Structure 1
Amino acid sequence: ADGIKMLIKEDVVPARADKVVHFLAPILVAAAAILALGVIPYGRNMTPFAIDGGILFFFAVGSTTELAVFMAGWGSNNKFSMLGAMRAIAQMVSYELPLILTTLPVVMVTGALSPDAIVAAQGGYSFGILPHWFVTTPWGAASFILFFVSGLVESNRTPFDVPEGESEIVAGHMTEYSGFKYATFFLAE
């Protein structure tokens, strides 16, 4: 119901906004999210874009969201949107490195940057009971916890939703967005 409401809601563009940048920011963030999902294997031989450097591609495309957030703050021509964008970018860039470092143990064990090869290396069972997933190893569990926390920070989820600062700037860089553009930003996070 909320999705339909957002689709039919009027798209209000502020009078002082840079209309081109205001229009392109949600498109860029949605494109980055869709492209990043394209290298994730959904099953055996079910990867939309099976490339050898899939992990690098995932993080490279995922880091373009910082540009889209900056465009959203800049394009709105609102000081609160820009403040929210600066907060969001600072937080996202700060946790980009820990997010990337969590994949190093898996890449070192498998010797591959391809998500398909990493998934294939996790087949079988350990001790006849435990699935041979990397998360069941001590280094895998530590990496998973760090990846999970870094993922929460990157997506501005509670308790790391500082860029939105409800008591100060309402919705962060999305303050001046409405309708379908707002929904696009919200879904891409």
Structure 2
Amino acid sequence: MTEFFQSLGMSYEWAWTVATLTGIIVISLLVMFSVAMVIYVDRKVLGAIMMRRGPNVVGPFGLLQSFADGLKVFLQETIIPSAANKGIFLLAPIITFTVALAAWAVIPFDAGVVVSDINVGLLYILAISSLGVYGVVMSGWASNSKYPFFSAMRAAAQMISYEVSIGFVLVCVVLFAGTFNMSGIVMAQQGHGFGFINGFFVNPLLFPMFVVFFISALAETARAPFDLTEAESELVAGYQTEYSSMSFALFWLGEYANILLMCSLCTLLFMGGWLPPVEWAPLYYVPGIVWFLLKTFFFFFLFSWIWATVPRYRYDQLMRLGWKVFLPMSLIFVAIISGYLMATGHFS
């Protein structure tokens, strides 16, 4: 894109700046549109599993329901509790939403289709995703209400617990790929399985880590059965209890943007990203971004399916799974995988 703007007579500096800003705007709009669509998909999948229709009135097949809901919350009044810390109360959803979008800067949708193809893209995602807890904690504290505060404490402990396991899973992937660059990790999966399957998920050493990452992604995004931060049975609505109008909508947008991010990471780290499922020449005629989107929405379907069918964990079960199962398991696999790679001369 930089070369295109240079062809229009711009200097390299201006062309790079305009190209980067254009990429940020385009990807942000695409993510926002995708969030609106996956909310619709979420409700339709839930409706189908629960044997009801789901949205089917606003627009053809109910496709405009998410946009109608967005317009509704936009027109509502923003109510701030009298005892709340007004500045932090309003800043919390903005931070949640902004952090959720910032992580998409290093996500490659296809070969070369990425805003910033940095060498430490995976570390950048890990750092940015860990910042999401600040918006939740700030909202819980600033609301000056016990239910949001309890939810914020749960969210902080939950996200920290499962980020540790996710970090060790990412170490396992990096050991096999030999790079932190997201595009490099995808290309390292080409023909990885039996010489013709594109993806790390078929590797016997990485498949358990794939399962751990997927389940940890559910907990990291506070998705069922780990939605203890929004448990209506004891916390009303969790950290969002005192929020209304667009401030409430920003939390939802940030949450679904994070869910899509985790689905895309499952695709990029284990399922071959934009590569076709197998090494067969005709499949490469399909644009890479199509494969990427199909795999990402497949994982989102699994997220919705689990939400509709798996009962919510208790909080002690959630913590036990993270600290007593996933953490030791991921540590052991880091040792096993690094030992295997050294023994087979992978690093040489």
Specify the TM-score bucket, using the shorter chain as the normaliser. over 0.9
In structure 1, list runs of 5 or more residues that go unmatched: none
The match for 2:214 is: 148
State the alpha-carbon separation in 2 of the partners of residues 56 and 125 from structure 1: 23
TM-aligned CA deviation for residue 30 of structure 1: 1.0
1:16-72 Cα shifts (integer Å, max 9, x gaps): 111110111111111111111111111000111211111111010111111111110
Are positions 1:33 and 2:33 aligned together?
no
Q: Could you give the per-residue CA deviations for residues 150-188 of structure 1, whole angstroms, max 9, x where no partner exists?
A: 010111111111122211211111111111111111121
Q: Could you tell me how far apart the structure 2 residues matched to 1:5 and 1:151 are? A: 30
Q: Name 1:136's counterpart in structure 2.
A: 202
CA distance in 2, matches of 1:135, 1:75: 42
The alignment-based identity, stated in percent, is: 40
Q: Structure 1 residue aligned with 2:234, among 168, 172, 176?
A: 168
The residue number in structure 1 matching 2:120 is 53
C-alpha distance after superposition, 1:99-144 (max 9, x if no partner): 111111210011101101111212246446x423111211222111
Structure 1 counterpart of 2:145, from 78, 88, 91: 78
Say if 2:225 is the partner of 1:159. yes
Q: CA deviation at 1:7?
A: 2.0
After superposition, the C-alpha distances for 1:81-101 in whole angstroms (9 at most, x for unaligned) are 111111111111111111111
Larger relative contact order (CA 8 Å, sep ≥ 6): 1
CA RMSD of aligned residues (A): 1.4
Amino acid at match of 1:29: T
Residue 187 of structure 2 corresponds to 120
Looking at structure 1, the residues matched to 103 and 213 of structure 2 have their Cα atoms a distance apart, in angstroms, of: 16
SS of residue matched to 2:72: helix
- 1:97 maps to 2:97: no
> Does residue 4 in structure 1 map to residue 66 in structure 2?
no
Q: Distance in 1 between matches of 2:144 and 2:217?
A: 29
**Rounded Cα–Cα distance in structure 1 between residues aligned with 2:106 and 2:202:** 24
1:73 Cα deviation after fit: 0.6
Query: Larger deviation: 54-63 or 6-15?
Result: 6-15
Q: Contact 2:231–2:237 at 8 Å: present in 1 too?
A: yes
Distance in 2 (alpha carbons) for counterparts of 1:105 and 1:29: 29
Using the alignment, how far apart are the partners of 1:127 and 1:109 within structure 2? 15
Residue equivalent to 2:8: none
CA distance in 2, matches of 1:143, 1:60: 20
Q: 1:64 aligns with which of 93, 112, 131?
A: 131
Of residues 234, 238, 247, the one that matches 1:181 is 247
Letter in 2 for 1:68: G
Residue 88 of structure 1 corresponds to 155
User: How far did residue 6 of structure 1 move?
Assistant: 2.1
TM-score, normalised to structure 2, is: 0.52
The alpha-carbon distance between structure 1 residues 125 and 169, as it changes in their structure 2 partners (threshold 3 A), is closer
Count of equivalent residues: 188
| Structure 2 Cα separation of the partners of residues 70 and 125 of structure 1 | 41
Larger radius of gyration: 2
- Whole-angstrom distance in 2 between the partners of 1:126 and 1:79: 51
